[in-house]
Amino acid sequence: MQFDIIIAGAGPAGCTAALALAGKGLKVAVIEKHSFPRDKICGGALAAYIPKVLNTIHTEFKSAFDAFPHKIPADTCRIIAPNFRHIDFNVGQTGYLTTREAFDNFLYELASAQPGIEFLLNHTVKDVIINPLSNEVSITTDKNVFTSKLIIGCDGANSVIAKKLTTTRPDRQHSCMAVRAIYNNVSGFSEGTFELHFLKDVLPGYFWIFPLPGNRANVGLGMLSQEISRNRRNLRQSMLDCIENTPTIRDRFQHADMITPVEGYVLPLGSRKVTMSGHNFMLCGDAASLINPLSGEGIGQAMVSGRYAGWQALECFEKNDFSAKRMQHYDSQVYAKFWKANQKSYRIQRFFMNRSGILNSMVNLASRHEFVRHLIVKIAT
């Protein structure tokens, strides 16, 4: 099974890479361990710049996103301090809230309709070997062996590609754990508003409530892995305790039903530089530790990295050069785009997240002084 390029993983990063390669005369395989539609444990917040990313690949892709019905616009972040006072921040641009089941299926259907792209579903990657003599990559799945000139690893936080081809390993100081469930009939939403609750008992993490289409809500709790290990936290129980025991939250769930189980996932944060490429390979999205350390946003960064990887792959075939030196241009593009912002988010997260008094004072001041509100938005964004 010979291809020019193999993309491991058909999430936002993998599908965006495929879109960037579509119709370019290359034979591209996208290997995915599940079939679609399938869920992915995630907050489901789509950054405001995602339509622009699709537009830079092809205007038709942005038009398809505009017509995607399973999303609701959100332009306001409600911050709830440990003293239960809140302040609303207009984030400047309109993002969207959706489910990963719907959004990933949208991207899959969009990419699978493009020329030159072949999806191989229900294939689990087991091994990857680079052969420098033949300048090829061999991918072994549970069903077959595939070869190509280049592999783009978009296979998530537990990436087999990253594990086999780099020395990067999980680091609790630079990762978060989160749990999430979907609920029906949560009350008390404000239109276009997603909520971050900085509750004293869950600092240095936060509890979130994101509205979804169909009177549903994405409800979850995230915290630094280092803190979870240090304090032996049961994150699932902490989330349920927030719902049952927090005065400002429990009444809103009085008539709510949990329609998915509480499930957990790992978020490798973009607060450290990792190996993102090498001879014959690139890594994107969670596999490249591209998650904002403060907000936990990763879908947009995954899609941007997938787009850059697709463009880099085209350059590699044009030059017939798949060397590690050539791939460094990809790393430079990604870090030029996100490193500065991710570092700022990491410093803010470290300074504020375990200081309930500072969070209380910040919200109190912002509720009384407009310039403080604008200053906080400027710092955070």
Mean pLDDT score of the chain = 93
Q: How confident is the model at residue 376 (pLDDT cuts 50, 70, 90)?
A: low
Are residues 81 and 363 in contact, defined by beta-carbon separation less than 8 angstroms?
yes
Q: How confident is the model at residue 378 (pLDDT cuts 50, 70, 90)?
A: low
How far apart (Å, rounded) are the C-alpha atoms in residues 94 and 47? Answer: 8
Q: Residues 37, 113: one domain?
A: yes
Are residues 189 and 76 in contact, defined by beta-carbon separation less than 8 angstroms?
no
Q: Flag whether 79 is in a domain.
A: no
- Tell me how many degrees the CA angle 267-377-209 measures, rounded to the nearest 5: 50
Q: How confident is the model at residue 380 (pLDDT cuts 50, 70, 90)?
A: low
Q: Flag whether 85 is in a domain.
A: no
pLDDT at 140: 95
Q: Residues 186, 229: one domain?
A: yes
Q: Flag whether 243 is in a domain.
A: yes
Q: What is the mean pLDDT of residues 303-318?
A: 98
Phi, psi for residue 106 in degrees, rounded to 5 = -60, -50
Structure tokens at 237: 């129980």
Q: Residues 55, 127: one domain?
A: yes
Q: How confident is the model at residue 211 (pLDDT cuts 50, 70, 90)?
A: very high
Q: Residues 177, 291: one domain?
A: no
Are residues 207 and 220 in contact, defined by beta-carbon separation less than 8 angstroms?
yes
Q: Residues 293, 182: one domain?
A: no
HEC-encoded secondary structure of the chain: CECCEEEECCCHHHHHHHHHHCCCCCCEEEEECCCCCCCCCCCCEECCCHHHHHHHHCHHHHHHHHHCCCCEEEEEEEEECCCCCEEEEEEEEEEEECCHHHHHHHHHHHHHCCCCEEEEECCCEEEEEEECCCCEEEEEECCCEEEECEEEECCCCCCHHHHHHCCCCCCHHHEEEEEEEEEECCCCCCCCEEEEECCHHHCCCEEEEEEECCCEEEEEEEEEHHHHHHHCCCHHHHHHHHHHHCHHHHHHHCCCEECCCCEEEEEECCCCCCCCEECCEEECHHHHCCCCCCCCCCHHHHHHHHHHHHHHHHHHHHHCCCCHHHHHHHHHHHHHHHHHHHHHHHHHHHHHCCCHHHHHHHHHHHHHCHHHHHHHHHHHC
* Residue in 135, 139, 150, 110 with CA at minimum distance from that of residue 16: 110
Phi, psi for residue 148 in degrees, rounded to 5 = -160, 175
pLDDT at 181: 97
Task: Render pLDDT for 68-117 as a digit per residue (tens, 0 to 9).
Answer: 999 999 999 999 999 999 988 887 789 999 999 999 999 999 999 999 99
Task: Render pLDDT for 235-283 as a digit per residue (tens, 0 to 9).
Answer: 999 999 999 999 999 999 999 999 999 999 999 999 999 999 999 999 9
Q: Flag whether 83 is in a domain.
A: no
Q: Residues 202, 315: one domain?
A: no
If one counts the domains in the chain, the total is 2
Bridge-partner residues for 89, per DSSP? 77
CATH of the domain at 40: 3.50.50.60
Task: Render pLDDT for 140-184 as a digit per residue (tens, 0 to 9).
Answer: 999 999 999 999 999 999 999 999 999 999 999 899 999 999 999
Q: Residues 56, 179: one domain?
A: no
pLDDT at 92: 76
Bridge-partner residues for 118, per DSSP? 29
Q: Flag whether 41 is in a domain.
A: yes
Structure tokens at 266: 């790992």
Bridge-partner residues for 284, per DSSP? none
Q: Flag whether 327 is in a domain.
A: yes
pLDDT at 362: 79
* Residue in 156, 182, 353, 181 with CA at minimum distance from that of residue 267: 156
pLDDT at 365: 82
Task: Render pLDDT for 12-66 as a digit per residue (tens, 0 to 9).
Answer: 999 999 999 999 999 999 999 999 999 999 999 999 999 999 999 999 999 999 9
Q: Flag whether 160 is in a domain.
A: yes
Query: In the chain, pLDDT over 90 holds for what percent of residues?
Result: 80
Q: How confident is the model at residue 125 (pLDDT cuts 50, 70, 90)?
A: very high
Q: Could you tell me which residues come within 8 angstroms of residue 292 by beta carbon, excluding any fewer than 6 positions away?
A: 269, 270, 298, 301, 341, 342, 345
pLDDT at 294: 87
Q: What is the mean pLDDT of residues 184-195?
A: 94
Q: Residues 233, 372: one domain?
A: yes
Q: Residues 59, 165: one domain?
A: yes
Domain residues for the domain of 49 are 5-72+97-171+269-346
pLDDT at 227: 87
Q: Residues 222, 310: one domain?
A: no
- Could you count the other beta carbons within 10 Å of the beta carbon of residue 339? 14
Structure tokens at 202: 């869950």
Residue 381 has pLDDT above 70, yes or no: no
CATH of the domain at 191: 3.30.9.100
Q: Residues 230, 134: one domain?
A: no
Q: Flag whether 155 is in a domain.
A: yes
Q: Comparing 261 with 380, which gets the higher pLDDT?
A: 261
Q: How confident is the model at residue 379 (pLDDT cuts 50, 70, 90)?
A: low
Q: Residues 290, 164: one domain?
A: yes
How far apart (Å, rounded) are the C-alpha atoms in residues 381 and 365? Answer: 19
Task: Render pLDDT for 342-355 as a digit per residue (tens, 0 to 9).
Answer: 998 888 877 766 67
Q: What is the mean pLDDT of residues 302-331?
A: 97
Q: How confident is the model at residue 377 (pLDDT cuts 50, 70, 90)?
A: low
Are residues 332 and 145 in contact, defined by beta-carbon separation less than 8 angstroms?
no
